[in-house]
Structure 1
Amino acid sequence: MLGPSIKKKKTSNKSLLKRPFNKRDIFSSKIPQCLKTKVFEQFVLPVSLAIGLIRRPRVTQRAMERAMLGVSLRDQIRNEEIRRRTRVTDIAQRVAKLKWQWAGHVARRTDGRWGLKVLEWRPRTGKRSVGRPPTRWTDDIRRVAGSYWRRAAQGRVLWNSLQKTYVQQWMSIG
């Protein structure tokens, strides 16, 4: 069977990622490493980000990279070495870069759509521990670009130069 069968029952998100392919087929030693990397970056990564499947994306990505190379945790190979061998983009870097680009895109818009309202939304529900105010989506963007980040986003050159700083900061926190 090439893909998922259509049923009236709801299917879980986990089954969506498992069905189209078999892990043994993609991570087989017969397939070249460059093709495994391409499949991961063009299929697995976007699908997992789109359906919110991965709670701990870095752990999942590293497990998949180990499977691509055919190594286990017992082999005690450092993550940096695994990343060097697979040449796969780090999921945390990708997420941070996409978040930064989307914030800049929405800040440059002038048509008043809901995107900017989402960025400025202030959560009012839920309890946080003492000393931890509710966080907004733009709080970490403000840490890099300042309180006038929407004005900074109007200049693409400045905004793109701040992106690298944001990604590095986001990687150290996340």
Structure 2
Amino acid sequence: MGKLFEDKAESLEDFKMFCGYVLADHCRYERFLALCGDAEATGAVFRVMAMAAGEDKTIEIDVIAFSCFGRMAFRNAWLARYRGKLPRNSEHVEQFFRLVTGDFITAEAKMRPRISFRSRAKIVCFFQEPPTDADTSITRKMILVSFPVSLPEDFETPLHFHFEEEKDGILRWMEEGLEMLAEKGGFGR
């Protein structure tokens, strides 16, 4: 997987720290990850992160997650894959921030009473190109990690099979990222 980060030491450090953040259930650094580039590479990287977080603790969401019923998916999730464009509607932006920052959110299941809880899910978004039209308040919370838009021909496919062989090394990256976060006190530089 290190091949994806050749000549991108800063992106690798940011990625490691975010992976460590996924393991850090006890802290909130109020950031989300934006993976940009080749769809196969970003999808494979997320799949490995999901294996480390626990596939039973990983969810896929879209703008529906901002509804009262949709937010229930966050109750036991550690990692959330967000599909679609970044929210622009002010109500959706507010809900997105509540999910990213770990504020209390209210959710309900059909025919059940509403409940309030803190979301611990770390959100990952996918883009072919880095977002340019997003609200600046959202981009301030974003950790942008870019991969090549197209992979070199010598890359093995499907990538997630190759990465599964490296999962011990990736778990080590996650632990390193957690240590870096603790040393720095967050993502700030």
Q: TM-score, with normalisation over the residues of structure 1?
A: 0.26
Structure scoring higher RCO (CA < 8 A, sep ≥ 6) equals 2
Higher strand share: 2
Whose Rg is larger? 1
Higher helix share: 1
